Amino acid sequence: MTRGTLPLFDMVPRITFMVVVSVLAYLIFSIVIASDSLAPSLSTNQFGKIAVIGGVLYDVKATAAEYVEGSSVPGAVVGSVGGVGLNMVASAAHVLANIPGAARPLLYSVVGDDLFGSQMVDAISRTGVDASGVLICKTHSSAMFISLGDVHGELMNAVADTAILDDNLGEHIAGSRHELGSMKALLLEMNLMPEVALDAIRHAPDAFIALEPVSVPKAGRIVTILEQGVSVDVISPNTIELDAILAGVDITDLSTNATVHTKADALLERFPTLASVLVTAGADGVYLVTREGMQHRPARDVVQRVDSTGCGDAMVGAIVAAVAQGLCDWTAGDVGGCLDEGLDAAALVLQSTESAVGKYH
């Protein structure tokens, strides 16, 4: 045996020591690498992740040059992607695009495995929305709204086919309960069946919850939801939807010409789990009523009013995104920063022929 070499049994502790040191070094190295690769996602602002649940549909508008019974007539036919869900989430995306690191808003909806469905997914992605919550359904065709009008703009007839949403959205939402629980805010439109909305709300107990009534016939669904005693942070009716909601509630001591403040107060009193009522009033701007009182903001001055369709959707989408990002403190009544975003988004839609902000970016 030469000097400096060790017998094998002498080397065993040294080898063990080196193995242990290597394993430890490897572990430390992996932890550093892992935390490094986590860094970008942690620095992304997950704080304000919002989800919109609602409809996207293909809108076909036909204008007939004349009417001849039992016959086709010449005219113009225009198709576009629309829907309250898309309008709201596009507006949220517009607000969030200006906030560095903000997560894109997520849309939960269902489209068909058809030409219209792929156009819808394209349009959704182009607006900066996370389309991973959009289910492509093979059994139904995409939701469509087809209207026939005359040359004066009067509606002659219309057909809405939303069976794909009615039949599939509930199951889709039930399958997404886990993700809903991590959302900072949820914005739901009342084309949803009340039980689907309730399922989503119950699985997002920490989220800011907003309900958009959509229309007079659908507004009553808000009453069904509130009657279940779930917490709702804000509902966003326009003035006629506010009346429709009140009509579904047993409140007797309210005169028909009561003010917006009185009407909204009556709702807050009737539903203790409802925190605020945001009443949009077209050219008269917006009223926010809470238990602490009422605030009014005038509408933005605009150079040209082109079409107000979708202004309310844009307003509530922008406000909910702003709340989720902490641009205001809604529960503390410090709402200015969020209402400003809503008014700006509504003004953008008002000045455009599109019914959603930046729809075709």
332, two tokens: 């503390």
Closest by CA position to 299, among listed 225, 247, 249, 349:
349
Q: Who contacts 171 (Cβ-Cβ below 8 Å, separation ≥6)?
A: none
- Maximum Cα–Cα distance for the chain, whole Å? 113
Based on the shown chain and the rule CB under 6 A, indicate whether residue 350 belongs to the binding site for ligand ATP: yes
Site for ligand ATP in 216-275 (CB under 6 A): 238
For the CB of residue 316, give the shortest distance to Mg ion in the complex, in Å.
Answer: 8
Based on the shown chain and the rule CB under 5 A, indicate whether residue 55 belongs to the binding site for Mg ion: no
- For residues 142 and 238, which CB has a smaller minimum distance to ligand ATP in the complex? 238
For the CB of residue 89, give the shortest distance to ligand ATP in the complex, in Å.
Answer: 13
How do strand 106-112 and strand 50-53 relate by DSSP bridges?
parallel
Residue burial 229-261, b: 16+ Cβ < 10 Å; e: rest? ebebbbbbbbeebbebbbeebeeeeeeeebebe
In this chain, which of 282, 326, 333, 337 binds ligand ATP, going by CB under 6 A?
Answer: 282
Contact status, residue 55 vs residue 143, Cβ threshold 8 Å:
yes
Q: Choose the one of Mg ion, ligand ATP, none that binds residue 305, judging by a C-beta under 5 to 8 angstroms depending on kind.
A: ligand ATP
- For residues 51 and 214, which CB has a smaller minimum distance to Mg ion in the complex? 214
Closest by CA position to 330, among listed 225, 183, 192, 184:
184
Contact status, residue 263 vs residue 242, Cβ threshold 8 Å:
yes
Based on the shown chain and the rule CB under 6 A, indicate whether residue 137 belongs to the binding site for ligand ATP: no
In terms of DSSP H, where are the helices of the chain? Answer: 8-43, 84-97, 115-126, 163-174, 177-180, 194-202, 216-226, 239-247, 260-270, 311-324, 336-350
- For residues 245 and 315, which CB has a smaller minimum distance to ligand ATP in the complex? 315
In this chain, which of 177, 202, 291, 305 binds ligand ATP, going by CB under 6 A?
Answer: 305
Rounded Cα distance between 320 and 314, Å, is 10
Q: Who contacts 213 (Cβ-Cβ below 8 Å, separation ≥6)?
A: 190, 219, 221, 222, 235, 236, 237, 238, 241, 244, 245
- For residues 137 and 190, which CB has a smaller minimum distance to ligand ATP in the complex? 190
- Map tokens 């349009």 to a residue: 123
Q: Choose the one of ligand ATP, Mg ion, none that binds residue 311, judging by a C-beta under 5 to 8 angstroms depending on kind.
A: ligand ATP
Q: Choose the one of ligand ATP, Mg ion, none that binds residue 346, judging by a C-beta under 5 to 8 angstroms depending on kind.
A: ligand ATP
For the CB of residue 90, give the shortest distance to ligand ATP in the complex, in Å.
Answer: 12
Q: Choose the one of Mg ion, ligand ATP, none that binds residue 230, judging by a C-beta under 5 to 8 angstroms depending on kind.
A: none
In this chain, which of 44, 63, 295, 309 binds ligand ATP, going by CB under 6 A?
Answer: 309
Based on the shown chain and the rule CB under 6 A, indicate whether residue 285 belongs to the binding site for ligand ATP: yes
Site for Mg ion in 270-329 (CB under 5 A): 312
For the CB of residue 54, give the shortest distance to ligand ATP in the complex, in Å.
Answer: 12
Contact status, residue 233 vs residue 208, Cβ threshold 8 Å:
yes
- For residues 55 and 117, which CB has a smaller minimum distance to ligand ATP in the complex? 55
Based on the shown chain and the rule CB under 6 A, indicate whether residue 190 belongs to the binding site for ligand ATP: no
Q: Choose the one of ligand ATP, Mg ion, none that binds residue 286, judging by a C-beta under 5 to 8 angstroms depending on kind.
A: ligand ATP
For the CB of residue 31, give the shortest distance to Mg ion in the complex, in Å.
Answer: 51
Q: What phi, psi does 93 have (nearest 5°)?
A: -65, -35
84-97 vs 311-324: helix crossing angle, rounded to 10: 50
Based on the shown chain and the rule CB under 6 A, indicate whether residue 286 belongs to the binding site for ligand ATP: yes
Q: Choose the one of ligand ATP, Mg ion, none that binds residue 283, judging by a C-beta under 5 to 8 angstroms depending on kind.
A: ligand ATP
Closest by CA position to 279, among listed 243, 311, 242, 251:
242
- For residues 105 and 342, which CB has a smaller minimum distance to ligand ATP in the complex? 342
What's the start-to-end Cα distance of the chain, in Å? 80
In this chain, which of 258, 268, 281, 294 binds ligand ATP, going by CB under 6 A?
Answer: 281
Based on the shown chain and the rule CB under 6 A, indicate whether residue 325 belongs to the binding site for ligand ATP: no
Q: Which residues bind ligand ATP (CB under 6 A)?
A: 238, 280-283, 285-286, 299, 305, 308-313, 315, 343, 346, 350
Q: Which residues bind Mg ion (CB under 5 A)?
A: 312
